[in-house]
Amino acid sequence: MIDPVIASVICATFLLAGIVKGVTGMGLPTVAMGVLGALISPLTAASLLLVPSFVTNLWQLLAGPAVSSLLRKLWPMMLAICAGTVTGVSWLVGGDTDLTTAALGGTLVLYAGYTLFAGQLRVPARAQWWLSPLIGGATGIVTGCTGVFVIPAVPYLQALGLSRDELVQALGLSFTVSTVALAIGLGATGAFTVEASGLSLLALGPALVGMWAGQRLRNRISPIAFRRIFLICLLLLGAQMALRPLV
């Protein structure tokens, strides 16, 4: 039997996360892990995000025509994400919640700080053949350790000079692969239980409603202002989580 209070918190969190994704095109697992990671263990929070993250990111991936070309371009990075995630997930299920919570907080601070303050990077084509697997492996390890798969994949993909539509699909591809790899890693360790899968399915509805609402809001408010406020809140939340084990 699911605790009604826990179910309400999960639904509210994924509704908010869906709105953020609808407005900005990303951020569902980041918001979900950031909020739920402050209330429950990062392992439980990571299990909850699997179904809504997979569905929303697959939708984002398949919404354009560039799937095959992106797969040809990014397959080494995707393979490395899988390997890194399966390797890193042992940290998430190892029981050291202070360490994984601090790592998650640090990841959120890095992501929010980079997106707020860093200039746009550019990766030359001649470096992509060896840099893509390194970025994928690093992203996989961060995913396995924290359940958040934005660092360093998002800054790297933004630096490839892709068109806007290609970038949205590339992010969808990276997030989808990361979600599947995380599910495989958690499943292999027995951490993704029947109860967790039920709660993850419960979270799908609010996430989809939030994503739809966020897409409608995108045309009514300034995405730049919303994104800036969102990132500042994420920065503060990440700092609190990173420092919590020291208090």
Residue-wise pLDDT tens for the chain (247 aa)?
567 887 888 899 999 999 988 877 777 888 888 788 777 777 888 888 899 999 989 988 887 778 899 999 999 999 999 999 999 888 777 766 677 778 778 888 888 888 788 766 788 888 999 999 999 999 999 888 888 888 889 889 988 988 878 888 998 899 999 999 999 998 887 777 666 677 788 899 999 999 899 888 877 777 678 778 778 877 887 887 788 777 6
The Cα 230–Cα 52 span in angstroms is 20
The Cα 30–Cα 49 span in angstroms is 10
SS3 sequence of 139-162:
HHHHHHHHCCCCCCHHHHHHCCCC
Helices and strands of the chain, counted as H and E runs: 11, 0
Tokens of 70: 């992106």
- Return the number of other C-beta atoms located less than 10 Å from residue 190's C-beta: 8
The DSSP annotation for 14-25 comes to: HHHHHHHHHHHS
Q: Are 134 and 81 in contact (CB under 8 A)?
A: no
- Smallest CA-to-CA distance from 101 within 182, 34, 175, 151 is with 34
Q: Are 209 and 18 in contact (CB under 8 A)?
A: yes
The whole-number pLDDT of residue 133 equals: 96
The whole-number pLDDT of residue 34 equals: 78
pTM: 0.83
The whole-number pLDDT of residue 156 equals: 92
The Cα 106–Cα 110 span in angstroms is 6
The Cα 153–Cα 137 span in angstroms is 10
The Cα 72–Cα 122 span in angstroms is 20
- Smallest CA-to-CA distance from 143 within 189, 115, 192, 103 is with 103
- The residues, any chain, with a CB within 8 Å of residue 137's CB and separated by 6 or more, are 80, 81, 83, 84
